Amino acid sequence: MAADTCSASSLAAGELLAGTATQARRWLLVEAREPWARDVDETALPEHVRELVHGFDGRVQLIRRPGRRGHERRAFVAETSDAGGTLRRLDTLDDVEGGEPIDASMVLVCCHGRRDPCCARLGTPVFDALGPHVSGETLWQSSHLGGHRFAANVLVLPEGILLGRVRPADAPGVAAELAAGRIPLEHYRGRTIHPPEAQVADAAVRQRLGLTGIGDVAVISSANGQVRLATPTGDIDAAVEVDRGLPLLESCGKEPAASVRYSVHW
């Protein structure tokens, strides 16, 4: 890996993953075989798809599966909650409230090279490596998930679990943990329903107590760095402090910017 890439810079500086997950509760996933532009809004989509994307009150991800041809365009809506969430396959692109419930989790791997080269170079091999271990119906390539410096990034929906620094060799273990309803903590960036401080406290408590089950920890409240979490052994109050970190590349080709470093006490 080139030393001047954003992912190499982040790894060399020891930047922690916890607290870096993109925040979103509602997700629209739209299959787009068209070439992806840097941003979803700039991608040349048919007018009816563009209207769907622009009118959605949540985060939009473009998805694709290389080699899938001759089929209708698929779209999904995921609603993330503390208990897990719901996932629906839309019957039509003009009804985001309808669709068929899916009793499974979708695994999205960011491969958005137009946004950052690290995503394509590191994400595509991970997508390929997950193929033998994740159902083809639930494994997709995705547009930008946030935090290219943590590539390869993997998002699990509807649970809203965002993983980072996944490598091809990690794929079997990551897939097995997710299938069992567990979080591979060494790759855990956080759950997308929580603000950064709550993500950090959640990850710290899980690491300290060895709690890998998705439902093992729930955030009760989070404000001003004070986070209360529910665990199988009782509630825990954590204080999250924010400090200025080292200047790091947020994206390949950009100038270094100040990073954030968290510490947790309880």
Q: Would residue 68 count as lying in a domain? A: yes
Q: What is the pTM of this model?
A: 0.94
Whether 237 maps to a domain, the answer reads no
Average pLDDT over residues 24-32: 95
Note whether 82 and 218 are within 8 A (CB): yes
Q: Could you read off the pLDDT of 8-19 as tens digits, one per residue?
A: 989 998 999 999
Residue span of the structural domain in which 81 resides: 6-193
Do the domain assignments include residue 67? yes
| d(C-alpha 151, C-alpha 200), whole Å | 19
Q: Is residue 186 part of a domain?
A: yes
Residue 23 forms part of a structural domain: yes
Q: Please tell me the predicted confidence (pLDDT) of residue 94.
A: 79
Average the pLDDT over 65-91 and give the result. 89
Tens-digit pLDDT profile for residues 178-199: 999 999 999 999 999 999 999 9
* More confident call, 240 vs 34: 240
Residue 60: CATH number of its domain: 3.40.30.10
Residue with tokens 């998002």: 155
Q: How many structural domains comprise the chain?
A: 1
Q: What is the pLDDT of residue 218?
A: 95
The closest of 114, 93, 110, 107 to 43, measured between CA atoms, is 114
Cβ(186)–Cβ(169) below 8 Å: no
Residue 262 included in any domain: no
Residue 95 buriedness (CB in 10 A; 0-12 / 13-18 / 19+): exposed
Q: Is residue 256 part of a domain?
A: no
Q: Is residue 46 part of a domain?
A: yes
